[in-house]
C-alpha cells in the first residue's frame, strides 16, 4: 500500500507536533501525529528513503563505572507533560539541525544530550556504540522514532553529575543510579520506587543492562 503526498492533508500544525490525515484509499482515513513537516513524514517516503532516514531523537543507555562501585545504569526522573508525572527515564532528546552537519550526527546529538542532562562530558576513552539507529515508538499513532545508543562512562566519582543543563520545558527531579540487582527489581515490579509505571524505552535500557549486552 502506497500513500501519496497529494492524499495527505495537514489537520494541525504547531511548532513541535503536527497531525496529518492520511487518505490511504478512497474515503478511508488514518490520522498520523508527527514531529516532521509534511514533505518528510515517513508515510510517503520511498523504500530507499524510509530505510535511510535519520530518527527524530536519540535515547541513551548510559552505564556509569566508578572505582568504588559496581557498574550502574543511569536513570533520571523527567517530567512528562502528557502523563502529568515525573517518570523514570533515560537521557534523550531531539536531533538538532546542527547535529546533522556532523559526520556522526546521532553520536553528536547523544553526547550533547548526555552533557545537558547529566553534566557528564563523554571522553574519547569512554565507550559509545549504536544499539539501533532507528526504532519507532508507537507506529500505530505516530512516526516518531529514536536511535538507541549505549555508552559506558568511566568516572573518578559522581561529583560532576547535575541537571543544570535543562533547556526549555525540560524539568528533572534527580537521578537513580541502579545496580544490576536493583534494575532486576525494577523490571519485576514494573514500576519505579514511587509506584509510577515507566516508559517503554526505559524498559529497553534496563533489559539491555541486565542482559550484559553493554559488555559485548
Residue range(s) occupied by CATH 3.90.79.10 in the chain = 57-215
pLDDT for residue 167 is more than 90: no
Domain 57-215: assigned CATH number:
3.90.79.10
Query: What are phi and psi for residue 28, nearest 5 degrees?
Result: -115, 130
Whole-number Cα distances in Å, 15 to 18, 27, 95, 172: 8, 29, 15, 22
48-107 residue pLDDT tens: 999 999 999 999 999 999 999 999 999 999 999 999 999 999 999 999 999 999 999 999
The pTM score is 0.95
Amino acid at each position: 500500500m502506497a500513500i501519496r503526498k497529494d492524499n495527505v492533508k495537514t489537520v494541525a500544525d504547531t511548532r513541535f507536533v503536527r497531525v496529518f490525515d492520511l487518505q490511504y484509499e478512497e474515503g478511508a482515513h488514518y490520522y498520523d501525529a508527527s514531529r516532521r513537516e509534511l514533505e518528510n513524514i515517513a508515510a510517503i517516503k520511498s523504500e530507499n528513503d524510509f530505510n535511510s532516514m535519520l530518527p527524530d531523537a536519540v535515547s541513551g543507555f548510559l552505564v556509569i563505572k566508578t572505582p568504588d562501585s559496581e557498574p550502574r545504569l543511569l536513570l533520571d526522573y523527567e517530567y512528562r507533560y502528557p502523563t502529568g508525572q515525573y517518570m523514570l527515564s533515560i537521557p534523550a532528546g531531539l536531533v538538532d539541525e546542527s547535529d546533522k552537519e556532523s559526520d556522526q550526527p546521532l553520536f553528536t546529538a547523544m553526547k550533547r544530550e548526555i552533557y545537558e542532562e547529566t553534566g557528564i562530558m563523554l571522553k574519547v576513552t569512554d565507550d559509545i556504540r549504536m544499539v539501533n539507529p532507528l526504532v519507532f515508538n508507537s507506529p500505530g499513532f505516530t512516526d516518531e522514532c529514536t536511535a538507541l545508543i549505549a555508552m559506558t562512562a568511566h568516572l573518578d566519582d559522581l561529583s560532576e553529575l547535575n541537571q543544570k543543563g535543562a533547556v526549555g520545558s525540560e524539568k528533572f527531579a534527580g537521578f537513580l543510579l541502579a545496580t544490576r540487582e536493583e534494575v532486576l527489581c525494577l523490571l519485576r515490579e514494573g514500576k519505579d520506587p514511587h509506584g509510577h509505571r515507566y516508559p517503554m524505552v526505559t524498559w529497553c535500557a534496563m533489559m539491555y543492562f541486565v542482559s550484559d549486552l553493554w559488555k559485548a
